Chains A and B, each alone.
Chain A
Amino acid sequence: MYRYDQFDAQIVKERVDQFRGQVARRLAGDILEEEFKPLRLQNGVYLQLHAYMLRVAIPYGQLDSAKLRKLGDIAKTYDRGYGHMTTRQNIQYNWVALKDIPDVLEELASVEMHAIQTSGNCIRNTTSDHFAGAAKDEIMDPRPWCEIIRQWSTFHPEFAFLPRKFKIAVTAAEHDRAAIRVHDIGLHMRVRDGKTGFEVHVGGGQGRTPVVAKLVNGFVPEAELLDYLEAIMRVYNRFGRRDNKYKARIKILVNETGPEEFTRLVEEEFAAQRKDEKIALPQDEIDRIHAYFAPPAFADKPETSDAFERAKAADPAFANWADVNLHPHKVAGYMSVTISLKPIGGLAGDATDAQMHVAADLAETYGFDDIRVTHAQNLVLPHIALDDVYTVYQTLDAAGLATPNESLITDMIVCPGLDYCNLANARSIPVGQEIQKLFADPAYQRDIGKLHINISGCINACGHHHVGHIGILGVDRKGEEFYQISLGGRADEKAAIGEIVGPALPYDGVGEAVKRLVETYRAVRRSPDETFIETVERSGLEPFKEAVYATH
């Protein structure tokens, strides 16, 4: 994993000092809240319903044991003993006092972390495949370029006051686990004629206007990537709408300009760059950053493990968990382990300080000191030897971290909703918990198979409801919570926006509706191998609409 050198360390330290000064000026009343707002926002500090919230950057979701322990310690010392993993692979603390935030930042800096640009109208944390560097299906490791983008975008002087926030995601696997097509810029690494480059998708997004990104360039060679990104950013900064917050994302510029004209503007700007405007990233620098991501020293192991097979035979609960929560690894004898943060009836994405320590210890002892946060709000130990999987499982189970539901119906993305957020119209958390209870039986979940339910408490779509196989959106109807159900959304390489199935349902009707959707799927699927989303795409919405509405 990347390590700070003197420059990185210095910049982060200077940030801590700068923000300490800004907080002091705010607390002394030297600057107004309105003027403080963009400063705190560029440092991940939001004013929420109950308190300030601090969002800490986890670049491309990667942690090591020291970082994760520190995140746990911060939760214990400055918050209420837990942190919340976000859909952008970051962590949020909901109860931090403003006066303590400079100290928290100093603690973070001690483990090479920060909260820079985790909010505000700037380039946010770059996200990636949570199995990067481990997945069997990736063509290369996308993390070095994520790190290069992180550095390039940090305190970029031209792009700190964009029309709106800006999110970049990178993947290098055919199966897109980073949801790149619903990002402002989605980069898919490609190799052409032996050269590495990027397929560039622009203008995807969720929120009020969900849209799948448009392909703007099929192959930008890696040496030109940053210059190409600068061209896109400049076109957006100059021409993106600023008259209406809800029309300010780049997706609106792409749609209103038209993808062809937008592409032409980008290409024109890129072609106009003079030699001395180029970033001119030295090859030595590209190589230096790549070296940090060299694969760990994997042992030479057979494909299978007797210990693993014996444990599965002896412990059916483990066998079930192993079938669900393991992901194939590029090296024989290893697996990537998903640590579910979605216990039945729990809070999606929350981890206690003790749980963070457990995961950190496991990573250090068994997992080459590597931990990831996923955009589905879980953790991953990317490199675990099959021989050690049972031991890891037992430790996780004892800590309440072995829920066997990765990508199953109870592994939901759920925004904080009305319980925490001052934008929300409706509760999200209890809706998710109710659904989880209906489907708690692991065998039932296995039978249903892969099914992503995403729940948002308002139209801003932080719970990614547009791209849920089943999406649930909370709306307010004359002071009462109602929920709109959509079907057919997906965030992967076949990204699609879900379609609303019919009139919104009252709070009490949501669980029953989901149950009917699932039972309809089980009745009409061609075989247990046909997943929920495949059935929806094949059969259309009709049978599902009927199931939810016709018999009422």
Chain B
Amino acid sequence: MPLIKDGQETADDWQFAETFGALGDGKSVLPMGEFLANIAAISARNTAIGVRLMPEDDPSDLADHLEKIGLIEISFPKYTDGRGYSQAQLLRRRHGYSGELRAVGHVLRDQILYMNRSGFDAYQTSRADLSDILEALREYSAFYQPAADGHRSVFARRHEKV
């Protein structure tokens, strides 16, 4: 499935493993529960690790381990389930996660701007190609509210001295 990151299509060198026992030698992503249950063993490994959040997962459980994590995937089993946007905002703004934040699952072109604003910087999707995504990210040039993407809010921009 194509991975789009930083405005370009990128090779995905991460492997998803359901359990700690199934981890391969390369860069691997684990479900959050598996990651937390095996945190000591994972710390002893010398290989990059990623974590995948399902919508019901609480991202604050990762707060103390963020420096160990090379990738966080947030899963959208259905595009209508918007919990991932709150997870992303919490990771970026409350917990200060600065690594790759990847949307996986039912990721559609018309959700990507909201994802980007919520702090995602990578999208794994079979439903949108690169040009779609770049176009979606350009559709708006002003945003009322501050979010995780660092844009100045319209509320603030109106009162900036030029």
Contact = CB atoms under 8 A, between A and B. Distances in A.
B147 A11 contact: no
A161 B79 contact: yes
Interface stretch (B15-23, B34-42, B66-74, B106-114): B106-114
B118 interface: yes
A195 interface: no
A158 B86 contact: yes
Q: Looking at chain A, what size class is its interface with the partner chain? A: 35 or more
A14 interface: yes
A281 B153 CA distance: 9
A423 interface: no
A515 interface: no
Most A CB atoms within 10 A — which of B93, B113, B140, B155? Answer: B155
A368 interface: no
B114 A151 contact: no
Interface string A251-287: 0000000000000000000001110110111101100
Given A7-B154, A14-B140, A284-B159, A277 B94 contact: yes
A480 interface: no
Nearest to B93: A277
Q: Looking at chain B, what size class is its interface with the partner chain? A: 35 or more
A121 to B, nearest CB: 7
B46 interface: no
Nearest to A240: B83
A272 B139 CA distance: 32
B156 A237 contact: no
A238 B142 contact: no
Q: Is the interface of A mostly helix, strand, loop or mixed?
A: helix
A226 B144 CA distance: 12
A35 B111 CA distance: 11
A11 B155 contact: no
A154 interface: yes
B52 interface: no
Nearest to B106: A35
Nearest to A274: B94
A11 B140 contact: yes
A160 B155 contact: no
Contacts of A18: 139-140
B146 A38 contact: no
B102 interface: no
A285 to B, nearest CB: 5
A526 interface: no
Contact of B143 (A38, A155, A162, A226): A155
B85 interface: yes
B157 interface: yes
A7 to B, nearest CB: 4
A525 B141 CA distance: 61
Contacts of B114: 155, 157-158, 160-161
Contact of B144 (A121, A154, A161, A242): A154
B83 A237 contact: yes
B141 A14 contact: yes
Interface in B76-95: 79-83, 85-86, 89, 93-94
A80 interface: no
Given A14-B140, A18-B139, A161-B79, A280 B158 contact: no
B141 to A, nearest CB: 6
A274 B140 CA distance: 27
A158 B159 contact: no
B85 A160 contact: yes
Interface in A11-48: 11, 14, 17-18, 22, 35, 38-39
B36 to A, nearest CB: 19
Contact of B159 (A10, A237, A285): A285
A273 B146 CA distance: 13
A156 interface: yes
A5 B159 CA distance: 12
6 contacts: A7-B142, A35-B108, A157-B85, A274-B94, A280-B146, A281-B155
Given A17-B139, A158-B118, 13 more contacts: A7-B158, A35-B110, A121-B80, A154-B144, A155-B140, A156-B145, A157-B85, A160-B85, A237-B83, A272-B94, A279-B145, A281-B155, A284-B159
